[in-house]
Amino acid sequence: MKKLRNAIVKALGALLAALLCVYNTGAEMEWLRALPRELYVYDGATIESLLEPPGSIGFYKANDAEVSLSQSQTLSDVLGEGVVNAQIKLYGVLPVGGIQLTQRDHTVVMPGGLAVGIHIVTDGLLVVGFGQFETSDGYLSPAKLSGVKAGDVIVEADSVPLKTAAQLSEIVANSTADVELLIERGGRSMLIVARPLEDVMDGKRKLGLWIRDDTAGIGTLSMVDMTDNGYGALGHAVRDADTGAEIQLRSGVLLKASIMGVSKSVKGTPGEIKGSFSLNDDVIGSIRATNEFGIYGFLEEQWTNPLYPSGVELAYPEEARLGRAQILASVDDSGVAAYECRIVKVYRQSECAPRGMVIEVTDERLLDKTGGVVQGMSGSPLLQDGKLLGVVTHVLINEPAKGYCLYAYWMYKLIESSVSAAAMVG
């Protein structure tokens, strides 16, 4: 009897193991293994259309397991609060997993790709270097001796707010004693007392400073909000070429630019788009805000991308995948063109950060013209599956065919916040 009982137990165990093995390779488990933990859904979508679940699978609100979610019901109705944590049950009884459903909006934007001139008037005077001149005590730079450093921003001199280099020169030349400088350095403010000295060559009092009160360069328009002409461009901070210091904006304009040529990127040396523009005319927009992710403002007139005249849908960061994509860029005077590339690395992000993806240029036309990613292409839109997914920001110095991208969604949100704040203050 005992032997029979043991034989039955073994047989049942073997049968159960076989059933589990069969189930584990069945449609339900295959479906469950492929199920994402989070799903972002758009208006009109249903669980049925998005996930195509087997008939044995049911969905229930996680906080109330008695409430079943209809698989054919529009998720816009289910997601009234924006996010629902759903529990998944087999045959309505056995919990086998969960998923977070989040409502998404459809947003259509105008993709950029247009090369533009950027002119920024700095907020304060940026110190880019020092110049020694002959004094009664020898060749000296009084500013350097007083503790001023390259990259400092001089905001005031003797309590007078500074807008131009000529202003500071006049205050120093007319001084009869020390000059008190209000300096911004690394996000902190400090006072430095500097003693101007007389230049024996012309008798003028000087500090021996090289300073800059504006900067200019070439970049690329990234996207335009079609509702109010607010735009984002560049994808990274505007930095001084000599010191690397981030430029603080007082005012600025976006200008029509002409491409004169391109120096190609090679390993160890980034290339550059060479362009020209006039500061006196051809203004196409204002620069109202800057940050580490680009420049923002309003275009004076509506601009239409000739490749996508009706605009494109904005993609969300979680939609990024490895594989084929497209860059829109202006690298000659023929205007905006589309070039093939591929996304080779994706960094998953839940908040704005500079390095969202790595791309590699595969289009021989662009490689022949530029060698890959070059300075001036910063801000070029990245499209995947017909949606605006990213913005080119930096080249990989030792792999010039590759570059980093910022997620376009983050730039769009920054357009909304930066431009709205600028509009509120005029």
Q: How many helices (H) and strands (E) does the chain have?
A: 8, 30
Q: Are strands 83-90 and 57-61 parallel, antiparallel or unpaired?
A: antiparallel
Can 363 be counted among the known catalytic residues? Answer: yes
User: For the chain, first and last CA: distance in Å?
Assistant: 94
CA distances from 261 to 45, 49, 378 (A): 48, 50, 16
Spatial separation of the C-alpha atoms in residues 154 and 168, rounded to whole Å = 9
Q: Which candidate in 222, 378, 380, 418 is catalytic?
A: 378
Dist CA 61 CA 397 (whole Å): 50
Q: Which of 23, 32, 81 has its CA nearest to residue 59?
A: 32
According to DSSP, the residues that pair with 384 across neighbouring strands are 387
How far apart (Å, rounded) are the C-alpha atoms in residues 116 and 231? Answer: 12
- Compute the distance between CA of residue 410 and CA of residue 289 in angstroms, rounded to an integer: 15
Tokens of 383: 């499209």
Catalytic residue among 214, 258, 363, 420: 363
Report how far residue 80's alpha carbon sits from residue 84's, in angstroms, rounded to the nearest whole number.
9
Task: Kindly report the number of other CB atoms within 10 A of residue 364's CB atom.
Answer: 10
Whole-angstrom distance, CA of residue 301 vs CA of residue 226: 11
Q: Which of 76, 85, 88 is nearest to 49 (CA)?
A: 76
State the catalytic residue, choosing from 236, 330, 380, 418: 236
Q: 201: closest CA among 259, 136, 293?
A: 136
Largest CA distance in the chain: 120
Q: Which residues are catalytic?
A: 236, 363, 378
